[in-house]
Structure 1
Amino acid sequence: MISNFTLVDKAQIKKNIENKYLKVAVISDGQFRYPTGREALETLGYDSNILITLPRSVADSYCGTGNPFSLGKIEKGETILDFGCGAGVDTLIVAKIVGDRGKAIGLDIIPKMLEKAIENRNILGLTNVNFIISQGDELEFANEYFDTIISNSVINLVPEKESTLKELYRCMKLGGKLLLVDQIFIGEKIKQHDVRVKSWFQ
């Protein structure tokens, strides 16, 4: 695939994302035109039985436009990737779902966000979840490594979307699930929409 982005373009995009999410790592409230924190988790229909186990300091760092867990069932014992995990709230929720026999890995490009994710993990005392920094274009995982990949409002930020989706597919097991929620802008005037995509690769 021929890229429409130069290295300078990609560097500028990365810098813009970092500048935005450095602020979000400190406080997500007021940084977006949609709800964040516990209010967003409740509005988006996250499992109330899990939400009650999240301290306010953890829940308040949530930032997303949708609920990937509404798109498909995740089983205990699965190995999960959260692509673009941010402060790690979805990663920690999925770690609770898969249990001690499962594993959750959160990936992000912003070191400050991963610091917050690790802080949240330590608050919850979870041992089946890790966070790693990655640019996302070439993932360090073996082919067919993950049972399920989730992503919440991240693909819209990626310059090379086709390449990224191919790389996610490479890392996903045959018959695995890609649970992706995102936002797009359409029309002459910018309008925000949620896009929920559920994919099973056979």
Structure 2
Amino acid sequence: MSDVAVDAQALREQVQDKYRAVATDPDGTYHFHTGRGLAARLGYPAAEVAALPDAAVESFAGVADPFALRRLRPGERVIDVGAGAGFDSFVAAGQVGPDGRVVGIDMTEEMLAKARRTAAQLGLAQLELREGLAEALPVPDGWADVVISNGVINLCPDKAAVFTEIHRVLRPGGWLQFADIANGRPVPAEAMRDIDLWTG
């Protein structure tokens, strides 16, 4: 049994509200950076980002470049946990090429709709976008060569469940490449129960 200190459904709803806004109003004011400026600040290769249309980049809200750990190989099968509007999924699709596969998973309808429109515009047949949760990935066991994620696991209250799912969907010897926010100090119990601190 999980020892989660916050109401998982209430947290998901607040996270969805926040990222629904980022999908529909990418130029809005948020407590985090977004878009091309953020991608440049995080060190994504300029040519890779410049090749993408604005719709592919404007709602990007990651925390680092998971591809800096290891560039994907042509033909690999990749899962993007918390794909949002698809920025990292589009980068992944470019790296794995037409012989690879990328499955981007997100729980926010507006983000998925935006990602699907952009994927169609880009003609990325190797990319599929699915609705789902990080704690229950809609992918068969051992399907992925690589799982990527960018700034998402910190928003999940049951991190053990997320990592269990990632382990389940990775093939033996597969790679987990994720960028996220970590706190090196103990968090008081009352703070753990404050949803606004999770989303802020």
TM-score, normalization by structure 2:
0.86
- Which residues in structure 2 correspond to 1:71-82 (within 5 Å)? 71-82=69-80
Among 94, 97, 100, the alignment partner of 1:96 is 94
**Contact 1:34–1:65 (CA under 8 A) maintained in structure 2:** no
> Secondary structure of 1:75's partner?
coil
CA RMSD across the alignment: 2.0
> Secondary structure of 1:20's partner?
helix
Matched, 1:57 2:55: yes
Match of 1:28 in 2: 26
Residues 72-121 of structure 1, C-alpha deviations (whole Å, 9 max, x = no match): 12100000000000000100110011000001110011111101111221
In structure 2, the gaps of 5 or more residues are: 192-200
Match of 1:135 in 2: 133
Matched, 1:153 2:155: no
Match of 1:106 in 2: 104
Count of residue correspondences: 187
**CA displacement at 1:60 relative to structure 2:** 1.4
Residues 161-201 of structure 1, C-alpha deviations (whole Å, 9 max, x = no match): 0111011011111111100101134558x9xxxxxxxxxxx
Determine what percentage of the aligned residue pairs are the same residue: 32
Match of 2:2 in 1: 3
Among 113, 117, 129, the alignment partner of 2:115 is 117
> Secondary structure of 2:111's partner?
helix
Q: Measured at CA, do residues 142 and 14 of structure 1 come closer, stay the same or move farther in structure 2, by a change above 3 Å?
A: same
- Which residues in structure 2 correspond to 1:159-178 (within 5 Å)? 159-178=157-176
Residues 29-59 of structure 1, C-alpha deviations (whole Å, 9 max, x = no match): 4443343101111111112231221112322
